[in-house]
Amino acid sequence: MIRIGRTLSTWASHWVNRERSSLRLSRCVLCLARAGRTGLCKACLGDLPDNHTACERCALPLASPNPRRLCSACLLRSPAQDFCLTPWRYEFPIDQMIRRYKYDGLRAPGRALALNWAHQVTSNLPAIPQSLIPAPIAAERLRERGFSQTAEIADWMSRETGIPLETRLLQRHPGFQPQAGLDRGERRRNLQGAFFVTTRTALPEHVAVVDDVITTGASGEAMAACLRQAGIKRVDLWALARTP
């Protein structure tokens, strides 16, 4: 049973996360039941808000399945990415788990989500990417938090799936305003020219960019467009959650 609002806000949160680097996941991060090494018991995992019925290009949750598996926006204009996969909707308790990881530095909730997704992600893909690329975060955010949540998620996913991790290929120019608080139009304008691909002799043909949350999809599309312009043929977007 999910009890994050009450249980993990007090002593249990400190017990599960008592050492940030230890990543003890033998107990469920939501209810403290035994959970093996994945950090989520079967009951709590089953209660998470899944995003199974979603657009294949931007992962926007769909009210009902349609034959083309696309939302109205992607039907009108194809985004730069070829495929988008997010296992959960950004709703309770996923939103609290990601916030505690991202803003409070508690690794256990983020790692639990990444581990449980990694165990089934490759079975839901039309093609396996050759490399995983963490979404670059703004330098201000990196200084504030002291870590990159996207780099950690990508690393955990790489270790579990065996897909190589490429941390230097995609970079973000300094000086761009963080995306938080901006609407979709502002996010698109803010990201013009924000990303660049480092010089490399041989680029993989198929990559997946790994993020924590897809909000409007503007960042993911900007990263995908940058990678496509550099010569990568197929770009997928992976994220733990999608905002409905």
Reply yes or no on whether the pLDDT at 210 is more than 90. yes
16 has a pLDDT exceeding 80: no
Q: What is the pLDDT of residues 106-150, one digit of tens each?
A: 999 999 999 999 988 888 788 999 999 999 998 888 888 899 999
| pTM over 0.85, yes/no | yes
What local confidence, expressed as pLDDT, does residue 142 receive?
87
User: What is the predicted pLDDT for the residue at 15?
Assistant: 47
Average pLDDT, the chain: 86
**23 has a pLDDT exceeding 90:** no
The closest alpha carbon to 229, from 181, 190, 197, 199, belongs to 197
Q: Is the peptide bond before 93 cis (omega within 30 degrees of 0)?
A: yes
Separation of alpha carbons 76 and 92, rounded Å: 31
Distance of CA 223 to the CA centre of its chain: 14
- pLDDT beyond 60 at 17: no
Q: Which domains does the chain have, with CATH numbers?
A: 49-242 (3.40.50)
pLDDT at 178 over 70: no
What does R_g of the chain's alpha carbons equal in angstroms? 18
Q: Which residue has the higher pLDDT, 155 or 27?
A: 155
d(CA 222, CA 74): 15
- pLDDT tens-place string over residues 78-98: 999 999 999 999 999 999 999
Residue type for position 77: R
Question: Residue range 42-48: average pLDDT?
Answer: 95
